[in-house]
C-alpha cells in the first residue's frame, strides 16, 4: 500500500471510495460539496431527517453513477470539533481502513482537511492516516496457503487530498508516520513468528541482518561468553532449553555520545512455559509474545536507522527460552547473578526479571544517562490496566516525566505505579540476597523493585511492563489480532524528544 498526497483542486482519477470527515457542529467542508452536488444534497437530507447527525463513528454514503470522483462517497461523523483528539483521528483511520477492506477497495481518497480540527492539525491527520493505514492493513499470513483463485483484493493506494497547501509539512508527516509504522510492523513480524522458528539464534540472525541494512551495529554474546561473564540469570533461565541463549548488543549513533547515551533493554523470552512452575495450558500458545520487549528494542533500532536521529543508543536483548526440556532450574535453586547478588528461585515462571537483571547490570559499562526497559513481565499488569496503558515504574522523576510525555504524544500511554521501599521487603531473600517473587500482592511493583536492585548506581531508569499492551486478542482501531508492536512508537517519540 502506498500513501500519496494530491491537491483536492486538481481532477484525479475516479477512486473506489472517497471519505470525508464531518463535525456535528460545523458545515460540510465546501470542497466536499464542490463538484459533487448529489453527495452534498444526500448529506443535507440525512442531516435533516436525523438519519445522520455527525456523532463520532456515524456514516452515510452515496453510491453509484451520481458520484463523479469516486464509486462511493462516505461521510464519517467525527463528533464535536473541540473534542477532536489524535486518538479520535486514530480511531477514524481504523474505521476508514475497515470500510475499505469490506468494500474491497483498491483506491481510497480521503479529503484531508475535513479531518483537521481541535487538537489535530492538518499534518497530524496526514501522519496518523499514513501510519494507521499501514498498521491496520498488516497481516501475518506467511504460513497460510494462498487460496487457489487467489483473488485477494487489497488496498493499493491511500490518497490524501489536501485543500490547504502545506505540502512540505505534509510530506514530512507522511514520511514520519510511514517510518513509525514500518518499525512497528518489524516488531510484529518477529513476535508473531512462532517459537519453533524464532529462537534466540534466529533473533540474533534477524538483528544482524537489520543492522547491516539500517546502519547500526550488532554484537552477539553467545553461551560460552555468557558463562565467562557469569551471567547467571540468563544462563539459569535457559537451562531447560535445547536452544542456546544469547545477549544481543546493539549500538546506534556512537558519534552522538556527547548528548548522553540512552540504553534500551528488552525482555526476550522466545517462549515462556513457566518452567517447572509450569503455566496452565489455557492461552499458553500466546507466550511466544514473551519476547515483545526485545522485539520493540530491535525494531526501534531499525526505525532509528531510517530516521537518522542524532542520539547514541545502546540496545540490550537477553534472549532465552523458559522451557523444561533439558536440565531446568528448580524452585529453591540459588543462582549468582552477573552483578554478584544471589537469588533464590521461588517460582521458575518469574524468569523475565532474572534475565533482565543481568542485562540491566551489564549496562554499567556504557554509562547511560537514561535506561528504559520493556518487558511482558507480569500477568498482574495486564489485569490492572488491560490493554489501555503500559505499567511504568522507575527511580528518577525527570525520566519518568519524559516517558509519560512520550506516552501521551504517541498514544501509547504509560501510567505510573509507586516504588515505595516497603515493596522491596517481599523480594528480600532468606538464604539468598533476593527471592525472584514477592508473594501474591503487588506483583507488578515487586517485580520492578527486584529489577531496581540490579540498576547501576546513579542511573536514571524506567521500567515499562507491556504484558497487557503487547498482544491484541481481537482487531482494534490500530492493529489486527496478534502482536501490537507496542513500544516502537513510544521509544521513537522519546528519542526524538531526547535528540532536541
> Which residues are annotated as catalytic?
279, 353
Question: For Zn ion, which is the closer residue by CB, 158 or 451?
Answer: 451
How do 157-162 and 107-111 pair as beta strands? Answer: parallel
Partner from Zn ion, ligand BES, none binding residue 467, C-beta < 5-8 Å depending on class: ligand BES
Question: For ligand BES, which is the closer residue by CB, 72 or 344?
Answer: 344
Q: Is 467 in the site for ligand BES (CB under 6 A)?
A: yes
Distance of closest approach, residue 358 Cβ to Zn ion, in angstroms: 15
Distance of closest approach, residue 368 Cβ to ligand BES, in angstroms: 25
Q: Which among 159-167, 209-217, 224-232, 343-351 is the span making contact with ligand BES, rule CB under 6 A? A: 343-351
d(CA 433, CA 343): 6
Question: For ligand BES, which is the closer residue by CB, 64 or 280?
Answer: 280
Which string of x and - marks every residue 229-268 that binds ligand BES (by CB under 6 A)? ----------------------------------------
Distance of closest approach, residue 471 Cβ to Zn ion, in angstroms: 13
Q: Is 437 in the site for ligand BES (CB under 6 A)?
A: yes
Q: Is 456 in the site for Zn ion (CB under 5 A)?
A: no
Which string of x and - marks every residue 250-279 that binds Zn ion (by CB under 5 A)? -------------------x--x-------
Distance of closest approach, residue 434 Cβ to ligand BES, in angstroms: 13
Residue in 105, 295, 350, 372 binding ligand BES, rule: CB under 6 A: 350
Q: Is 351 in the site for ligand BES (CB under 6 A)?
A: yes
Cell of 382: 495486564
Placement of cell 509539512 in the chain: 169
Q: Is 131 in the site for ligand BES (CB under 6 A)?
A: no
Partner from Zn ion, ligand BES, none binding residue 248, C-beta < 5-8 Å depending on class: none
Q: According to CB under 6 A, which residues from 370 to 429 bind ligand BES? A: 376-380, 382
Question: For ligand BES, which is the closer residue by CB, 115 or 289?
Answer: 289
Residue nearest to ligand BES (CB): 379
Residue in 54, 79, 293, 352 binding ligand BES, rule: CB under 6 A: 352
Partner from ligand BES, Zn ion, none binding residue 417, C-beta < 5-8 Å depending on class: none
Q: According to CB under 5 A, which residues from 280 to 339 bind Zn ion? A: 290
Q: According to CB under 6 A, which residues from 287 to 326 bind ligand BES? A: 290
Q: Minimal CA–CA distance to 237: which of 341, 339, 343, 315?
A: 343
Number of residues that bind Zn ion (CB under 5 A): 6
Q: Which residues bind ligand BES (CB under 6 A)?
A: 272, 290, 347, 349-352, 376-380, 382, 437, 443, 467
Q: Which residues bind Zn ion (CB under 5 A)?
A: 269, 272, 290, 349, 351-352
Amino acid at each position: 500500500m502506498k500513501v500519496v498526497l494530491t491537491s483536492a483542486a486538481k481532477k484525479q482519477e475516479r477512486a473506489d471510495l472517497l471519505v470525508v470527515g464531518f463535525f456535528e457542529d460545523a458545515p460540510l467542508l465546501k470542497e466536499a460539496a464542490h463538484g459533487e452536488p448529489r453527495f452534498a444534497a444526500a448529506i443535507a437530507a440525512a442531516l435533516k431527517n436525523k438519519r445522520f447527525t455527525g456523532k463520532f463513528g456515524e456514516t452515510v454514503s452515496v453510491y453509484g453513477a451520481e458520484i463523479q470522483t469516486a464509486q462511493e462517497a462516505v461521510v464519517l461523523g467525527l463528533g464535536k470539533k473541540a473534542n477532536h483528539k489524535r486518538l479520535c483521528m486514530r480511531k477514524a483511520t481504523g474505521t476508514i481502513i475497515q470500510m475499505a477492506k469490506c468494500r474491497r477497495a483498491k483506491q481510497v481518497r480521503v479529503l484531508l482537511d475535513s479531518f483537521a480540527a481541535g487538537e489535530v492539525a492538518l499534518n497530524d491527520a496526514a501522519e496518523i492516516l499514513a501510519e494507521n493505514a499501514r498498521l491496520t492493513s498488516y497481516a501475518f499470513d506467511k504460513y497460510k496457503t494462498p487460496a487457489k483463485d487467489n483473488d485477494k483484493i487489497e488496498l493499493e493506494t491511500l490518497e490524501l487530498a489536501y485543500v490547504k497547501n502545506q505540502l512540505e509539512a505534509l510530506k514530512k508527516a507522511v514520511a514520519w508516520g510511514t517510518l513509525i509504522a514500518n518499525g512497528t510492523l518489524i516488531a510484529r513480524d518477529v513476535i508473531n513468528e512462532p517459537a519453533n522458528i524464532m529462537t534466540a539464534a534466529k533473533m540474533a540472525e534477524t538483528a544482524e541482518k537489520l543492522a547491516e541494512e539500517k546502519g547500526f551495529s550488532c554484537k552477539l554474546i553467545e553461551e560460552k561468553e555468557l558463562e565467562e561473564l557469569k551471567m547467571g540469570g540468563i544462563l539459569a533461565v535457559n537451562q531447560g532449553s535445547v536452544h542456546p541463549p544469547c545477549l544481543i548488543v546493539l549500538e546506534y549513533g556512537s558519534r552522538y555520545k556527547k548528548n548522553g547515551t540512552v540504553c534500551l533493554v528488552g525482555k526476550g523470552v522466545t517462549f515462556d512455559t513457566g518452567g517447572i512452575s509450569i503455566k496452565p495450558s489455557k492461552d499458553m500458545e500466546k507466550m511466544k509474545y514473551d519476547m515483545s520487549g526485545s522485539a520493540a528494542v530491535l525494531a526501534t533500532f531499525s526505525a532509528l536507522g531510517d530516521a537518522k536521529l542524532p542520539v547514541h543508543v545502546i540496545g540490550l536483548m537477553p534472549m532465552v527460552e523458559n522451557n523444561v526440556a533439558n536440565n531446568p532450574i528448580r524452585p529453591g535453586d540459588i543462582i549468582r547473578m552477573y552483578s554478584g547478588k544471589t537469588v533464590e528461585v521461588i517460582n521458575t515462571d518469574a524468569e523475565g526479571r532474572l534475565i533482565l537483571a543481568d542485562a540491566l547490570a551489564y549496562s554499567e559499562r556504557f554509562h547511560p544517562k537514561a535506561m528504559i526497559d520493556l518487558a511482558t513481565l507480569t500477568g498482574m499488569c495486564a489485569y490492572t490496566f488491560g490493554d489501555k496503558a503500559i505499567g511504568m515504574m522507575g527511580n528518577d522523576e525527570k525520566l519518568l516525566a519524559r516517558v509519560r510525555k512520550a506516552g501521551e504524544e504517541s498514544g501509547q500511554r504509560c501510567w505510573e505505579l509507586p516504588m515505595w521501599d516497603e515493596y522491596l521487603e517481599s523480594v528480600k531473600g532468606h538464604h539468598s540476597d533476593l527471592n525472584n517473587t514477592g508473594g501474591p500482592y503487588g506483583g507488578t511493583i515487586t517485580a520492578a523493585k527486584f529489577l531496581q536492585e540490579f540498576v547501576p548506581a546513579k542511573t536514571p531508569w524506567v521500567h515499562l511492563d507491556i504484558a497487557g499492551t503487547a498482544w491484541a486478542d481481537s482487531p482494534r482501531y490500530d492493529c489486527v489480532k496478534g502482536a501490537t508492536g507496542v513500544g516502537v512508537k513510544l521509544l521513537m517519540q522519546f528519542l526524538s524528544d531526547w535528540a532536541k
